[in-house]
């Protein structure tokens, strides 16, 4: 089976997750075609009826990245009839009670607003890399972390991603 892996990544964690999913799929004998979404206006593959598409997007300041939102909006009818899957990457998912599709507000809000109905969904916690952020981003993320009882030390780099959960999700995509 061919899998298109469409994604946008701001700080690189979503791209790392896509790479892990790709490894698992290829190890299972699946064909993988990366589809980085940079403008959101990319064309949907023409062989989608005989393939699967996975879309991954991180949250930045409360919203999934614009290229993903545009891609889904532009291709909504085809995506809703395809074998589609979607995952969200956000720091809210660092909390156990916020890391399922049913309990993650960002994922639920995106699916409701976009009318996208993927067959499979997942939520993964991202990474917090204060030293890599521009000063304004660092300040804003520290403020968000303070409000949500997260780490605020500007020297910290923490990867919250549950790689076992990513692997299980990828394995589900092969069925």
The pLDDT, as a whole number, for residue 47 is 87
Distance, CA of 146 to CA of 55 (rounded, Å): 30
The encoded tokens of residue 154 equal 């500007």
Q: Map residue 80 onto helix, strand or coil.
A: helix
The pLDDT, as a whole number, for residue 155 is 96
Distance, CA of 2 to CA of 100 (rounded, Å): 26
Alpha helices per DSSP H over the chain: 13-27, 66-74, 76-81, 105-114, 135-147, 163-172
Specify the domain boundaries for CATH 3.40.50.360 within the chain.
2-125+161-172
pLDDT per residue rounded down to tens, the chain (175 residues): 899 999 999 999 999 999 999 999 999 999 999 999 988 778 888 888 889 999 999 999 889 999 999 999 999 999 999 999 999 999 999 999 999 999 999 999 999 999 999 999 999 999 999 999 999 999 999 999 999 999 999 999 999 999 999 999 999 999 8
Enter the pTM of the model. Answer: 0.93
Cβ–Cβ under 8 Å, residues 16 and 166: no
HSE-up of 170 (CA within 13 Å, CB side)? 25
The CATH number for 2-125+161-172, chosen from 3.40.50.360, 3.40.50.970, 3.40.50.10440, 3.40.50.2020, is 3.40.50.360
The encoded tokens of residue 35 equal 């589809």
Distance, CA of 65 to CA of 59 (rounded, Å): 6
The backbone torsions φ and ψ at residue 159, rounded to the nearest 5 degrees and listed phi first, read -100, 115
The pLDDT, as a whole number, for residue 43 is 80
């Amino acid at each position: 089976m061919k899998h298109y892996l469409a994604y946008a990544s701001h700080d690189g964690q979503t791209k790392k997750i896509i790479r892990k999913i790709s490894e698992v799929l290829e190890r299972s004998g699946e064909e993988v075609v990366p589809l980085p979404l940079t403008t959101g206006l990319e064309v949907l593959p023409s062989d989608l009826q005989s393939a699967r598409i996975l879309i991954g997007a991180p949250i930045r300041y409360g919203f999934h990245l614009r290229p993903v939102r545009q891609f889904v909006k532009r291709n909504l009818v085809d995506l809703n009839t395809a074998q589609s899957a979607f995952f969200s990457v956000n720091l809210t998912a660092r909390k156990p009670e916020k890391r399922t599709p049913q309990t993650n507000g960002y994922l639920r809000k995106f699916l409701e607003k976009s009318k996208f109905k993927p067959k499979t969904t997942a939520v993964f916690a991202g990474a917090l890399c204060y030293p890599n952020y521009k000063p304004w981003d660092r300040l804003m993320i520290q403020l968000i972390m303070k409000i949500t009882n997260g780490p605020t030390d500007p020297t910290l780099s923490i990867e919250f991603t549950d790689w076992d959960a990513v692997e299980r999700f990828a394995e589900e995509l092969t069925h």
